Amino acid sequence: MLVLLEVVAAVVLRDGCPEATLPLGNGPLCWVFYEGLGGSLDPCRHGRVSTSPMGLRHYWHGTISDVAPFSDPGTHETLLNIEPYILNILLVCGGRTRHWREQSVRLERHSGLKLCKIPWEFFLGLPWHLHTMLEFLSAQIFASYFCSGESLRKVIFQIPTLHTKSSILGQWNLPNLCLLFLSGIGRNWPWASGGSSILAEFGTLHLEFMHLSHLSGNPIFAEKVMNIRTVLNKLEKPEGLYPNYLNPSSGQWGQHHVSVGGLGDSFYEYLLKAWLMSDKTDIEAKKMYFDAVQAIETHLIRKSSGGLTYIAEWKGGLLEHKMGHLTCFAGGMFALGADGAPEALAQHYLELGAEIARTCHESYNRTFMKLGPEAFRFDGGVEAIATRQNEKYYILRPEVIETYMYMWRLTHDPKYRTWAWEAVEALENHCRVNGGYSGLRDVYFASESYDDVQQSFFLAETLKYLYLIFSDDDLLPLEHWIFNTEAHPFPILREEKKEIEVKEK
């Protein structure tokens, strides 16, 4: 029995499957599957990572070409987000990408970057959302440099935006969320508490900008994100919590809405990972992280009557006993931070991560599709179940799988691989369509109702974390690499490496 998990699709339809040239995989990993023995698949006991020429054409159409994998599997729309994700996951899985990148993403000093065959100058006239910048920088640029070993000058400094437009950042009044490159004007979304900046946006640039300054020698990127931290440290925090909205004009919090899920999530993750990425020298980030976690435990974390630990949302001092799928990343975050906690709390945070993982698994297990809803509630006798129709959908999100990956790497408890494989089977049984993989409108309904969208994070995160769960720990080991909020790998900046670079300069 062969169950195909097509982790990457790439240009190999044009060029054949290239053999691995990176010290990162187990061979020519252009696609991955698990081969079960005796007619039944048990990846924890019998499965093995292998390669096969089967099924790639299906996944090619679903990943590079299509945004509507169900209704229109034959279109070839140009996508801004897809190609960087393909590059990144190819690098993680060990594929050779140089030829494809030269064909698809041309780095030309005079004509500008051509992404997906659209002139780079076209994008300079558009407002760039911070996460769009983050995704492009981390997936297309950093992944190329860190994982392929290519010349930094070739990968970064031939891109006009970073070489000639970095002065724009000097005019950029962070933490505005959108930046118009030609004018340098920043702005926010009007719906966000009167045009406020969003915590998970302005708080999710630190890793990328610090690395950019480290690699380029230009301090402006690091200065900008450190200024954000300075502002946050000076602000009084209600009950020690960080509200989701900050008014960039007044410098005060907007609505007192606190969430470890949407609008807040990656801010907390980046506090921890800033400390880890600094080789544990960024003590300020460590303190901010553990202070925030303490406030979250005190005011947001609760246990249901059925014994499920969950993270509620805080609105003006009142708890809403709802946990979003986005919040499920926190299980992995708590476990990853356990090693840096005071000795008496290290085991506690590891166990807290395991409890959150169990709760999020229950949110999957209590649906017909065995895939989790967008949000689930703990009230009125209901536990880990979505009660509102607008919360019952599933859009191929990665957060639960992300927590499984961290819990597996940190504990090697086989249940996390078992739970991950349950998700693989559910994706194959309910989300796979002719043109790729589609989200579902209702995970409790016995018949699939597709939303006809394959999200870009399905490639960058969901499938990558699944791949890593079933890979050996020496593939992107956590003691040497961290993953940013889009699951792109960044190396830890070792102190000894920094000293060597300073001496060389």
Known binding residues for Ca(2+)? 485
Residues 278 and 285: their CA atoms lie apart, in Å, by 10
The three-class DSSP label of residue 417 is: helix
CA-nearest of 99, 96, 95, 97 to 32 is 95
Residues 242 and 113: their CA atoms lie apart, in Å, by 38
Partners of 4 in the β-ladder: 33
CA torsion sign, 26 to 29 to 34 to 35? negative
Rounded (5°) CA angle 487-488-490: 120
Residues 78 and 133: their CA atoms lie apart, in Å, by 18
CA-nearest of 398, 333, 400, 390 to 363 is 400
CA–CA distances in Å: residue 339 to residues 57, 334, 490:
43, 10, 19
Residues 179 and 137: their CA atoms lie apart, in Å, by 15
458 is written with which tokens? 């399905």
Question: What are the two backbone dihedrals, phi and then psi, of residue 490, each rounded to the nearest 5 degrees?
Answer: -125, 135
Give the distance, in angstroms, between the CA of residue 496 and the centroid of all CA atoms in the same chain: 29
DSSP 433-467: ETTEE--BS-TTSSS--B-----HHIIIIIIHHHH
28: alpha, beta or left, given left = phi > 0 and alpha = psi -120 to 50?
A: beta
Residues 468 and 448: their CA atoms lie apart, in Å, by 28
Q: Cβ(337)–Cβ(349) under 8 Å?
A: yes
Annotated binding site: which residue ranges? 485
Q: Which amino acid is at 463?
A: L
Q: Which amino acid is at 91?
A: L
Cis upstream peptide for 175 (omega within 30°): yes
Among residues 83, 374, 402, 486, which one is catalytic? Answer: 374
CA-nearest of 166, 168, 175, 267 to 219 is 166
428 is written with which tokens? 């194959």
* Location of structure tokens 């109702």: 449
> Is residue 486 among the annotated active site residues?
no
Residues recognised as catalytic:
374
